[in-house]
């Protein structure tokens, strides 16, 4: 897929061209499009209402616009970043269904859009690009035809877009190009993350996840160090070792580091890398267990975030930490009631083996704090179903000990369209994870499950003054809900990219 920014007059030889329309300008916009395409204004009014994400296709009857199809993209009441992403996403999905490969989006009113939304032309163009890439995304392991099943080369190539052109005027050209460039980087990195999360567990072991990080680092110029099982045992990372006990696959502990010379801040990002979660001995119900391939979403986000930082050459030292394993039941698996000693030296009573993510994150958080002394630590994890009950599939739960960090991540969430909502970390919840035989236990009962999980993680950052835990269980894999979408959303990449871009 190739993105192009071009003058509005160069719209020849397209399969389709699209126009963004907000309700505030609906009448004027439809009148202009009716004249441009030779369609009835009354017909357009009855068929298109500019609802956010609405897509309507009409056929062009005039030669002045050299495109057989014209798409009308609804923005809702007014131009916003979320509306532009949503409409671009819907447009791309519709194009994929129709297999239209050479298309354009009209951005000739970029200056008006910027004024209406109080956003820069660059950021608007970035949002359009991110939305289009998100909607164009496709993950499949289906063979194209019978011959492919027999090992022969497929004769039916996978559909892909050729040219996606953003049409704008001279005044907006440079800013639009800058925005498209950033949007392409963030969007393509998010697609890479979605590929990792959507991969079945037999395609993605802990070793495969580490190799994906190595591949990204080699391609984009940051370092990746991977600890193997022997090294993990030598470091006495009891949380990761305990969860891995029931597996036939070895664990990995990956350290990703992007360190530009002009960096003033060090940000550590830790991601839960459970490549498949059965629950271990505390086994999950069989229904929808296949979705547990997504339990390494936080780890994939770490790769995406470090990759974006390197590709955008951000002036921030970014450290990514990924503890990875699957969580399986077997004769060697850890049992409820076992006591582990973590990398921090803190003992943990394993109250439930399905609360495994916090065990591997415990080792990783302590390691990040001690080895890199970061200014800020952020962890991401598909950690609790309780957070989904609290916030649904629309937002991640944010737990933090720092008000300024909460504000930074909240703003980044609203601008990126990946929203977070602050949850409590009060001391009153500590009593729920007290253990009679160890320093702490890994669950706190049914009530406030997302909070007690965060309180558990808090034990492993010590006195660090700037830490945030993001429970992304809901928005990271929305197909578990009733949204109708399938597979991974790659939630967290745009959020972290926005936060890192604003760090100085």
Catalogue the active-site residues: 284, 358
Q: Please, how many CA atoms are within 13 Å of residue 393, restricted to the half-sphere of its CB? A: 15
Q: Tell me the C-alpha distance between 38 and 330, whole Å.
A: 69
Contacts of 376 (CB under 8 A, 6+ apart): 265, 266, 267, 268, 402, 405, 466, 467, 468
DSSP secondary structure code for residue 429 in this structure: G
Nearest by Cα to 294 from 19, 141, 489, 3: 489
For the record, the structure tokens of 70 come out as: 């014209």
**Backbone Cα Rg of the chain:** 24
Beta partners for residue 183, in sequence order: none
Long-range contacts of 286-290 (CB under 8 A, 24+ apart): 288/480
Contacts of 460 (CB under 8 A, 6+ apart): 342, 344, 346, 361, 362, 363, 365, 366
Beta carbons of 257 and 266 less than 8 angstroms apart: no
Residue 325 has phi, psi (to 5 degrees) of -170, 170
Q: Tell me the C-alpha distance between 147 and 110, whole Å.
A: 48
In 60-171, which ranges are E strands? 69-74, 102-106, 163-168
Burial (0-12, 13-18, 19+ Cβ within 10 Å), 339:
middle
Our measurement of the distance from residue 12's CA atom to the centroid of its chain's CA atoms, rounded to an integer in Å, reads 35
Our measurement of the distance from residue 430's CA atom to the centroid of its chain's CA atoms, rounded to an integer in Å, reads 31
Q: Are strands 347-349 and 440-441 parallel, antiparallel or unpaired?
A: parallel
Residue 93 has phi, psi (to 5 degrees) of -65, -40
Helix, coil or strand: residue 400? strand
- Cα–Cα separations (whole angstroms), residue 465 to 405, 428, 440, 454: 10, 20, 21, 15
Q: Tell me the C-alpha distance between 196 and 206, whole Å.
A: 11
Q: What is the dihedral of CA 441, 442, 445, 447, to 10 degrees?
A: 120
């Amino acid at each position: 897929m190739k993105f192009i920014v071009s003058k509005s007059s160069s719209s020849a030889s397209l399969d389709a061209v699209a126009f963004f329309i907000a309700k505030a300008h609906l009448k004027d916009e439809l009148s202009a499009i009716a004249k441009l395409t030779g369609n009835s204004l009354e017909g357009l009014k009855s068929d298109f209402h500019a609802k956010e994400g609405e897509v309507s296709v009409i056929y062009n009857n005039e030669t002045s616009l050299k495109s057989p199809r014209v798409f009308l993209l609804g923005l809702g009441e007014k131009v916003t970043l979320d509306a532009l992403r949503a409409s671009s996403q819907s447009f791309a999905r519709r194009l994929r269904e129709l297999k239209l490969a050479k298309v354009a989006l009209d951005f000739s009113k970029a200056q008006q859009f910027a004024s209406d939304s109080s956003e820069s032309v660059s950021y608007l163009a970035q949002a359009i690009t991110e939305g289009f890439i998100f909607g164009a995304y496709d993950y499949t392991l289906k063979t194209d035809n019978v011959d492919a099943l027999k090992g022969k080369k497929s004769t039916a190539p996978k559909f892909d877009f050729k040219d996606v052109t953003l049409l704008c005027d001279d005044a907006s050209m440079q800013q639009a190009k800058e925005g498209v460039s950033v949007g392409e980087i963030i969007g393509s990195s998010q697609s890479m993350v979605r590929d990792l999360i959507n991969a079945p567990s037999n395609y993605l072991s802990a070793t495969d996840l580490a190799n994906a990080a190595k591949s990204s680092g080699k391609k984009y110029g940051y370092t990746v160090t991977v600890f193997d099982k022997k090294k993990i045992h030598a470091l006495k990372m009891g949380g990761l070792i305990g969860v891995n006990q029931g597996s036939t696959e070895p664990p990995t502990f990956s350290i990703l580091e992007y360190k530009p010379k002009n960096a003033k801040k060090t940000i550590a990002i830790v991601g839960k890398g459970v490549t498949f979660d059965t629950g271990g001995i505390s086994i999950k119900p069989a229904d929808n267990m296949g979705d547990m391939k997504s339990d390494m979403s936080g780890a994939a986000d770490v790769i995406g975030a470090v990759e974006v930082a390197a590709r955008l050459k951000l002036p921030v030292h970014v450290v990514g930490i990924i503890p990875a394993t699957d969580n399986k039941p077997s004769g060697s698996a850890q049992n409820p009631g076992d006591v582990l000693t973590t990398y921090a030296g803190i003992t943990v009573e394993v109250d439930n083996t399905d609360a495994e993510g916090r065990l591997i994150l415990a080792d990783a958080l302590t390691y990040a704090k001690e080895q890199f002394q970061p200014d800020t630590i952020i962890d991401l994890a598909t950690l609790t179903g309780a957070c989904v009950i609290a916030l649904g599939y629309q937002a991640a739960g944010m737990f933090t000990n720092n008000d300024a960090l909460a504000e930074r991540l909240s703003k980044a969430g609203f601008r990126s369209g990946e929203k977070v909502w602050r949850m409590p970390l009060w001391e009153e919840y500590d009593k729920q994870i007290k253990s009679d035989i160890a320093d702490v236990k890994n669950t706190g009962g049914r009530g406030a499950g997302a909070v007690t999980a965060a309180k558990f993680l808090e034990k492993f950052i010590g006195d660090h003054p700037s830490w945030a835990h993001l429970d992304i269980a809901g928005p990271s894999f929305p197909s578990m809900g009733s949204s109708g979408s399938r597979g991974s959303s790659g939630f967290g990449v745009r959020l972290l990219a926005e936060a890192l871009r604003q760090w100085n």
